[in-house]
Structure 1
Amino acid sequence: MKKLFCLLVILITTQSFFAQLEKKPQKITQKGFAKVDFLSINMPETGIMNEPNMGFTGIHYNLLLNNFYTGLGIYGAVSGARGGFFTLGVNAGYKKFLSKKLFLDSGFHFGGGGGANAPDGGGAFILPHFNIGYEFRDFSLNAGWSYVNFFDNGLIKNHQLNFAVEIPLDYDYANYNNREKMYNIQHLKNSEWDTKAGKFSVMMHLNNLVTKGRSRNTLDPKYNLATIRLAGFEIASYFYKNWFAFIKVDGAFSGIPGGYMDVFFGSGYLLSFNRNRTNLLAKFGVGAGGGGGVDTKGGFLIYPDISIEQQIFKDAFISLNKGFVMSPNSDFYSESYGVGLKYYLEKDGIQSTKSNRESAKLKGLNIIVKQDLYFNAKRKENPTEDMHQISLQVNFDLTKNLYVAGQTSFANFGNAGAYAEGIVGFGLKSNLLLNNSTSFFVQTLAGAAGGGNISTGQGLIIKPSAGLDYTLSNTLKLRASGGYVKARAGELSSPFINLGINYTISFLKLK
């Protein structure tokens, strides 16, 4: 018995010793920048007499690869007569510095989208630009020529000036294959991870807009207290003590015809009490919204809000919110209320404001850009035909094989330019198989969809699928999948396939 006990002690001691010698994960820094741009598009003569220019503003994030860059961007109408016009696309470009501060920027954006009964055709468009810019200490400004063309049977084609502001925004990451590995905080002392952790929050929520006042639909009658039911997500980053910046995206799934969407970004302040178990937050955001028959005029909206959160376990909180979503002149006016599940995390550093952090774990993150093909997508009125869409999906790994996912998609071919989706769900994936090159997955997503004359009823869809990821490099995988999409109260019921690129990284999360 004594020999057995001694052997057990030796095994535990040896395991602990080798665990302490485990190689520290390499910390990799990716250079990048966020960009907000604006262009005023001269609209073609269609159903609106003397239609004003559509103010088109975009939010982008680009990775810097030496002087080249690539990334993603979402645009929305903020002035004119096309509130609810949204697009999603990919960026690529090149920067050439003429001096230490002065630079030329030539770039290209390809995407899909539309809305608000605009002549967007199938939704596919290109947006090249050629700008000159100046780099200041913490940001840069640039402006120049751009050209927009909705080339898949759309009528929106125009040359215009564009203006942009860019902010450097780098991030740290580790190899995706190290995900779910645990590290003792002391083990990471005096390493490249021994820096201040960044604080973030991610929230999935259900929201409601109770329309009031002069709020009308595009057929002119007032909404008369109609309630628009929304599902979406919010991501916040804390930049100074309890001050944070956020981006919030919602889509309607009930209450009105499918198609309403809004996107906000802004800032807020968090006040914590009750031993940090209860939070009170005040937020103010600006953004764009419309669609589904909601008349938001040019599309520019403001979003003041107050939320209260209560801890339910460790870093998870239940959130209740009350606020307003409205145009500045109250042409569209609604009271907002909802509930959400929020998760806080401190990442990419071991120096925490909380004294009880003893370990850290690498968590996996997938960012997937793909092109979908819906076969025979049922229309409300027009003849049924295939529909294509560009899609962005983000997966957060809960374990090595289980993940939660969020996805947004916009039509770009197939005569459905205003169609868009915002869906969430869960998936399961295998370990690497076939000579460590391929993993397989199944997932089910559900949420809001509508617009583009696609028959989605009030907007609720469910979308199961299965597919595979084939490894190309440490961070890139080729993705292919197929599945089925079904509208709960509409006639959309189609098989689909897609092909895309999966960008895979892991980040260090304090526990």
Structure 2
Amino acid sequence: MKRYFWIFLLAPIGMVTAQEIPTQKNQKVFGQVDFLSIHMPDTTIPDEANMGFTGIHYNLKMNDWSYAGVAIYGSVTGQRGGFFTLGANLGIQKNIFKNFFIDSGIHFGGGGGAAAPDGGGAFILGHANLGYHFPYFSITAGWSAIDFFDGGLIQNQQWNAALQVPLSFDFASHRPHEKEYAIKAFQDTPWHQKPKKIGLLLHLNNLRVDDKVANTENEYLIGQTIRLAGFEFDVYLNKKWFVFIKADGAYHGIQAGYMDVLMGGGYEFSMNKNRTHLLAKLGFGAGGGGGVDTRGGFLLYPDVSIEQKISKGISLSINKGYLFTPDRHFFTSTYGVGLKYTAHVNGSQSKTKTYTSGKFKGFEFSLSQELYWNAKRGSNPTENLQQISMQLNVELNQHLYIAGQTSFANFGNAGAYAEGIVGFGVKVTPFPALQTSFFSQILTGAAGGGDIKTKQGLIVKSSFGIDQPLGDTLSFQLSAGFVKSLGGGLNSPLLNVGLKYRFSYLQLK
């Protein structure tokens, strides 16, 4: 009887301890790569070929029949290499019988480039597809229509096809971010699973033109170096194999406007007691702009990188490779340097390393509409500029975060203008009961195109704002600030309004 008394007395204590660990939730996601062939209007290129337009999508399943997400599109065939867009997705996906399903939705975004008739950049792309689920992926095909409605001339209806891959990730509410627990506390919880390895690289890259590459003005660029800034995100499939996505924008060496977006896979060799890594990568994607002639825009990217650990989770990276079109019309050798942050997340099991604790780290994703007052142009009259903007925040502690932002013009007669910038931010929550936060951030990087006067492309953007939660994962944000081109020209106040999706993930220590 005495034994049962102690079990009865201690059981509630054990339940309280278990409840202290944040609840694990699962978000269903699907990635998508799609393709459509757009008939181009007769403008500056006689009898212009269709533009092959391909998109990389990341969609969250809101329930069993609807989804929302983001996508970046780029030209890969035709004569408009460097044409890029960014936008938001909203759609319906529902099984109709067995493995067949319907997929219908709308994508709103902004962008342009490559001297295409994109107007202000705002466009709508709708689709209605029929799909089929295979065991590990799905395919869809159907009708789509695109309209650059803010003064653009690109309007067309066409067939489209897509490949979808189901994904998911575990997460916790954003509230427990920066809370730390002993590793044994996760033993009997859903967090006691194999962790996933991820990496985030912030780098400076260089493209040295080795062949007789011409720009769009038929001037040779041989011997010139295009200097880029950007990021790469790696997800490891196992100990050695990984997939990556990277984006870079030019800030020096040519007129502003060049960018590339690449994805692919790689293999990691470890040495020096796992402190030095050799990575072999092969990627493909789209690139162009800034007067660089990449024809249709499709690029190949073989690369070798060496990473040397300099502190826990931080490595110095040096890379050497090539970036070129398949026909070598555009051919460059690449080299660069960067800092890489590596972490094992969302699992407390490990057979190769000894961890003592796990901490929940905050992550934020925002999608917003931004306004620049009186954005100075190179040749056209000065007027306001609007753009759609996407930002990712990785929280370092309660107050400091690393930020990466990309933006594409959608109103204001500057459809080819785009930005790719990174930096730091600070936030405070003076009213914990209301959960209202105030933040300030400063970002810098590459920007150009659309006749916006950024010279060779280096800009600095600073802002101050407020963040008000709307629920467990969503919040509303409002900020104001200033953007300035360091080369002269663009010098405008800004206003940003948007929604933020936020959560926390478990990181082993």
Query: Would you say same fold, with TM above 0.5?
Result: yes
Q: Which residue of 1 aligns with 2:30?
A: 33
- Counterpart secondary structure, 1:386: strand
Q: Which residue of 2 aligns with 1:491?
A: 489
Displacement of 1:21: 6.3
CA distance in 2, matches of 1:470, 1:311: 38
CA distance in 2, matches of 1:308, 1:176: 34
The one-letter code of the counterpart of 1:63 is L
Q: Which residue of 1 aligns with 2:114?
A: 116
Q: 1:477 is matched with which residue: 464, 470, 475? A: 475
Report whether the alignment pairs 1:261 with 2:249: no
Displacement of 1:96: 2.1
- Counterpart secondary structure, 1:187: helix
RMSD: 1.4
The one-letter code of the counterpart of 2:61 is L
The one-letter code of the counterpart of 1:39 is L
Q: Which residue of 2 aligns with 1:145?
A: 143
- Counterpart secondary structure, 1:381: coil
Deviations along 1:317-356, whole A, 9 cap, x unmatched?
1000000010011100001000010011111111125322
Displacement of 1:418: 0.2
The one-letter code of the counterpart of 1:60 is H
Q: Which residue of 1 aligns with 2:48?
A: 51
The one-letter code of the counterpart of 1:412 is N
Displacement of 1:98: 1.1
Q: Unpaired runs of 5+ in structure 1?
A: 1-16
CA contact (8 A) 2:257 2:449 kept: yes
Displacement of 1:225: 1.0
- Counterpart secondary structure, 1:31: strand
Report whether the alignment pairs 1:250 with 2:240: no
CA distance in 2, matches of 1:127, 1:38: 12
Report whether the alignment pairs 1:78 with 2:76: yes
- Within-5 A mapping of 1:330-409: 330-409=328-407
Deviations along 1:214-233, whole A, 9 cap, x unmatched?
31111001102110000000
Q: 2:319 is matched with which residue: 318, 321, 342? A: 321
1:461 to 1:19, Cα distance in 2 relative to 1, 3 A: farther
Displacement of 1:357: 1.2
Displacement of 1:19: 10
- Counterpart secondary structure, 1:177: coil
- Counterpart secondary structure, 2:175: helix
Deviations along 1:377-424, whole A, 9 cap, x unmatched?
000000000000000000111011111100000000000000000000
CA contact (8 A) 1:242 1:271 kept: yes
1:282 to 1:19, Cα distance in 2 relative to 1, 3 A: farther
- Within-5 A mapping of 1:441-480: 441-480=439-478
CA distance in 2, matches of 1:115, 1:453: 10
Q: Which residue of 2 aligns with 1:98?
A: 96
Deviations along 1:14-72, whole A, 9 cap, x unmatched?
xxx99966711100001110000000000000010110000000000101122000000
CA contact (8 A) 1:105 1:133 kept: yes
Deviations along 1:184-209, whole A, 9 cap, x unmatched?
11110021001110111110000000
Q: Which residue of 1 aligns with 2:6?
A: none
- Counterpart secondary structure, 2:237: strand
The one-letter code of the counterpart of 2:439 is F
The one-letter code of the counterpart of 2:85 is T
CA contact (8 A) 1:214 1:330 kept: no
CA contact (8 A) 2:21 2:186 kept: yes
Q: Give the TM-score taking structure 1 as reference length.
A: 0.95
Displacement of 1:248: 0.6
1:432 to 1:162, Cα distance in 2 relative to 1, 3 A: farther
Q: 1:186 is matched with which residue: 179, 184, 198? A: 184
Q: Which residue of 2 aligns with 1:210?
A: 208
Q: 1:412 is matched with which residue: 407, 410, 414? A: 410
Q: Which residue of 1 aligns with 2:21?
A: 24
Deviations along 1:257-300, whole A, 9 cap, x unmatched?
11000000000000000000000010000000001110000000
Q: Which residue of 1 aligns with 2:9?
A: none
CA contact (8 A) 2:429 2:435 kept: no
CA contact (8 A) 2:456 2:487 kept: yes
CA distance in 2, matches of 1:499, 1:476: 14
CA contact (8 A) 1:458 1:490 kept: no
Deviations along 1:241-268, whole A, 9 cap, x unmatched?
3000000100000111110000000000
Report whether the alignment pairs 1:164 with 2:162: yes
The one-letter code of the counterpart of 2:416 is A
CA distance in 2, matches of 1:462, 1:412: 21
CA distance in 2, matches of 1:19, 1:259: 56
CA contact (8 A) 1:81 1:298 kept: yes
Range 135-144 or range 93-102, more displaced: 93-102
CA contact (8 A) 2:361 2:506 kept: yes
- Counterpart secondary structure, 2:114: coil
The one-letter code of the counterpart of 2:337 is V
CA distance in 2, matches of 1:76, 1:272: 35
CA contact (8 A) 2:212 2:222 kept: no
CA contact (8 A) 2:391 2:406 kept: yes
Q: Which residue of 2 aligns with 1:5?
A: none
CA contact (8 A) 2:141 2:161 kept: yes
Displacement of 1:506: 0.4
Q: Give the TM-score taking structure 2 as reference length.
A: 0.96
The one-letter code of the counterpart of 1:418 is A
CA contact (8 A) 2:213 2:220 kept: yes
Report whether the alignment pairs 1:198 with 2:196: yes
CA distance in 2, matches of 1:496, 1:223: 35
Range 348-357 or range 284-293, more displaced: 348-357
CA distance in 1, matches of 2:408, 2:232: 19
CA distance in 2, matches of 1:77, 1:364: 34
Displacement of 1:120: 0.2
CA contact (8 A) 1:42 1:54 kept: yes
CA distance in 1, matches of 2:310, 2:372: 40
CA contact (8 A) 1:229 1:254 kept: yes
Q: Which residue of 1 aligns with 2:153?
A: 155
- Within-5 A mapping of 1:287-326: 287-326=285-324
Q: Unpaired runs of 5+ in structure 2?
A: 1-13
- Counterpart secondary structure, 2:97: coil
- Counterpart secondary structure, 1:178: coil
1:355 to 1:435, Cα distance in 2 relative to 1, 3 A: closer
CA contact (8 A) 1:143 1:161 kept: yes
